[in-house]
Amino acid sequence: AQSVTQPDIHITVSEGASLELRCNYSYGATPYLFWYVQSPGQGLQLLLKYFSGDTLVQGIKGFEAEFKRSQSSFNLRKPSVHWSDAAEYFCAVGSSYGNKLVFGAGTILRVKS
Amino acid sequence: DTAVSQTPKYLVTQMGNDKSIKCEQNLGHDTMYWYKQDSKKFLKIMFSYNNKELIINETVPNRFSPKSPDKAHLNLHINSLELGDSAVYFCASSQGRGGNSPLHFGNGTRLTVT
């Protein structure tokens, strides 16, 4: 069965600083990987996804993520954080034949000015 | 022009009552889901329907009963509500069967049982 670990519950960065949110997954075959963002009182919005091909994927709002099979990781990055990026971020794993996505516990991002 | 809409947004009720949450998607997707997000923000799938057929039924009390009258609608009925049912319930949809397709989420229904 798939599982996802997001080791950091909270992260605080200064506005304009770079950001990296960690995600590790457990899955025996090639995973389908996703990052979602949830603003307070809102549903989850897809930032980016990885299915195959180039291991560096670009998403919306200036985010990118890199799939590293050897480390079972799919970390999310942004070179310069804006105050509006403060939200909760969820990593999720699926598969080519599975019926569901499994989500990590989320990382809360705080941005200080 | 909301893609996945669920109603109501807030639901406050007493223990023992029965309540329903409705969800509709206008994306033309084949699969719809109910997820529960607890107080620690952990998201757990409850049910999934593909073209009105139930394909995922996780370990959920049978007080929870989903119904999909057509592939654009998925409702959730909860009988005999308990304090532990308090959570945010998210409806979602996807084009594929879920493991290989991005989910599109509604804005959630915050259920508070007193």
Residue A98 confidence (pLDDT) above 80: no
Can the peptide bond before residue B8 be classed as cis, meaning omega within 30 degrees of 0?
Answer: yes
Is residue B9 within 8 A of residue B90, CB to CB? The reply is no
Q: How many domains does chain B have?
A: 1
Is residue A61 within 8 A of residue A79, CB to CB? The reply is no
Give the Cα separation of A33 and A94 in Å (integer): 6
Sign of CA dihedral B73, B77, B50, B32: positive
Contact B107 A43 (CB under 8 A): yes
For residue A94, the enclosing domain spans 3-112
Give the Cα separation of B77 and A17 in Å (integer): 46
Q: Which of residues 65-104 of B touch A (CB under 8 A)?
A: 90, 92, 97-104
Over its C-alpha atoms, chain B yields an Rg (Å, rounded) of 13
A113: burial class by Cβ within 10 Å (0-12, 13-18, 19+)?
exposed
Residue B1 confidence (pLDDT) above 70: no
- Tell me the shortest Cα–Cα distance from A9 to chain B, in angstroms: 10
Confidence at A96, pLDDT banded by 50, 70, 90 = confident
For residue B107, the enclosing domain spans 4-113
Confidence at A28, pLDDT banded by 50, 70, 90 = confident
Cβ contacts of B55 on chain A, cutoff 8 Å: 99
The whole-number pLDDT of residue A60 equals 96
Give residue-wise pLDDT tens across range B51-81: 888 988 887 899 999 999 999 999 999 999 9
Cβ contacts of B48 on chain A, cutoff 8 Å: 99-100
Give residue-wise pLDDT tens across range B6-37: 999 999 999 999 999 999 999 999 999 999 99
The CATH number of residue B106's host domain is 2.60.40.10
Please give the residue of chain B at the shortest CA–CA distance from A43: B107
The CATH number of residue A71's host domain is 2.60.40.10
Q: How many domains does chain A have?
A: 1
Can the peptide bond before residue A40 be classed as cis, meaning omega within 30 degrees of 0?
Answer: no
Please give the residue of chain B at the shortest CA–CA distance from A44: B105
Contact A42 B41 (CB under 8 A): no
Give residue-wise pLDDT tens across range A53-87: 899 999 999 999 999 999 999 999 999 999 999 99
Structure tokens at B104: 């599109």
Tell me the three state secondary structure of residue A8.
coil
